[in-house]
Structure 1
Amino acid sequence: MTKIKEVIVVEGKDDTKQIHKAVDADTYETNGSALSNGDLERLKKLQQTRGLIIFTDPDFNGERLRKMISAAVPGVKHAFIRRDQGVPTEAHGSLGVEHADPAVIKVALAHLYTQEERPSVTFTIQSLQAAGLTGNPHARSRRERLGQLLGIGYGNGKQLAHRLNMFRISPTQFTQAMSQIKQEENRQ
């Protein structure tokens, strides 16, 4: 089983259980979407000593936690699963890492992104609009698919521009992903 040196930040104990099915790693559980100043201080210390991987649920609260930690703790790494990979198999339960298959978790942890404090600006709202990712009837589904292909998660237009820049997605990577999206749309 692969050993992860960084501490993986998750939302709860069920996420930890699922992570342990995929890899050998220590986790830090936030126990929900609220973070205290004490939590942030502990996360800063862990980042300095071991490094952090933020692996929150692909939902609003998970994204909120990701942003809070990223703002307070520079240089953290990010792992993402798609929304459809975190759907519960039973009727009850919420979307989350705890429902992801161990193979999906391994892939997410093999494709980490590191956030830089001040990303260079390559992608703008205008460039996303020109690509049909905003102001278009298919914009939402295209943004969702682009996030899946690039492994950076879903975001609205403004969030997507920020993520593309933050994760240093190259124009070539972007163009290849958009070509794949257009090919998929043409097949439908």
Structure 2
Amino acid sequence: MFKEVIVVEGRDDTTAIKRAVDADTIETNGSAVSKSCLEQIKLAQQTRGVIVFTDPDYPGQKIRQTITEYVPGCKHAFLPKSEAIPKKGKGLGVEHASIEAIRTALQEAKAEYTDATYQSKIPREWIVEAGLLGGDYAKSRREKLGDLLQIGYANGKQLEKRLAKFQIEPEKFIQAMQQIIQEEQDAK
């Protein structure tokens, strides 16, 4: 049984989580997270800890942001978009992920540093040199980097903050970028 309570968007997500792991969940029931839901998450964070595990899309990011502002210090699990696509039909979400993808995302959950004094361990120059800001491949590289580091996708403005908030070590960043560049070269 997971010690932490896992925050998901809805009932189908809870079903998928319970197929993969033994855990308690809190459902936000969409991106308009209610005050009572936030209070429930706050209590869970104080007593057991919380892992926020939302869909890899804009509404999922909005829910994460709302929870982070109200309940600082939660852990975050990220699912790559490629793992959240259904085999048939439309949509994108945790409910479509395989048991293994859910387990991996939860095992790799990262604490978000909320101290206003946190500093990125990755110099901005590295981000620029890695082609993550501007250029033809920047967006695709950021998507791959977010998946490899298990921090989710971030746009150019938010990437540096995301790397700092999750205190990504330089070695991990370098390894991920080497893998991305190697995959790009292999694809040519």
Amino acid at match of 1:99: H
Give the TM-score of the pair, scaled to structure 1: 0.94
d(CA) in 2 for partners of 1:172, 1:9: 30
Matched residue, 1:122: 121
Residue among 16, 35, 57 paired with 2:33: 35
Superposition deviation, residue 126 in structure 1: 4.7
Q: Are 1:125 and 1:158, in contact at CA under 8 Å, matched by a contact in 2?
A: no
Residue 186 of structure 1 is matched in structure 2 by 185
User: Does structure 2 conserve the Cα–Cα contact (< 8 Å) formed by 1:128 and 1:157?
Assistant: no
Q: Distance in 1 between matches of 2:124 and 2:69?
A: 22
Gaps of 5+ in 1: none
C-alpha root-mean-square deviation of aligned residues, in Å? 1.2
Post-superposition, which runs of at least 4 consecutive aligned residues in structure 1 deviate over 6 A? none
> Which residue of structure 1 lines up, in the alignment, with residue 102 of structure 2?
105
Aligned match of 2:61 in 38, 60, 63?
A: 63
TM-superposed deviation, 1:39 = 1.6
Residue aligning to 1:134? 133
SS of 1:8's equivalent in the other structure is strand
Identity among equivalent positions (%) equals: 51
The answer to whether the 8 Å contact 2:28/2:34 transfers is: no
Residues 1:98 and 1:10: Cα distance change in structure 2 (over 3 Å): same
After superposition, give the CA deviation of every residue in 1:66-117 in whole Å (9 maximum; x if it has no partner).
111011111101111100100012224x200000001110111111100111
| 1:130 CA displacement | 2.2
Aligned residues: 185
Structure 2 length as normaliser, TM-score? 0.94
Q: Which runs of 5+ in 2 are unaligned?
A: none
Residue 155 (1) aligns with residue 159 (2): no
Following superposition, the deviation at residue 153 of structure 1 comes to 0.8
Q: Partner of 1:51 in structure 2?
A: 49
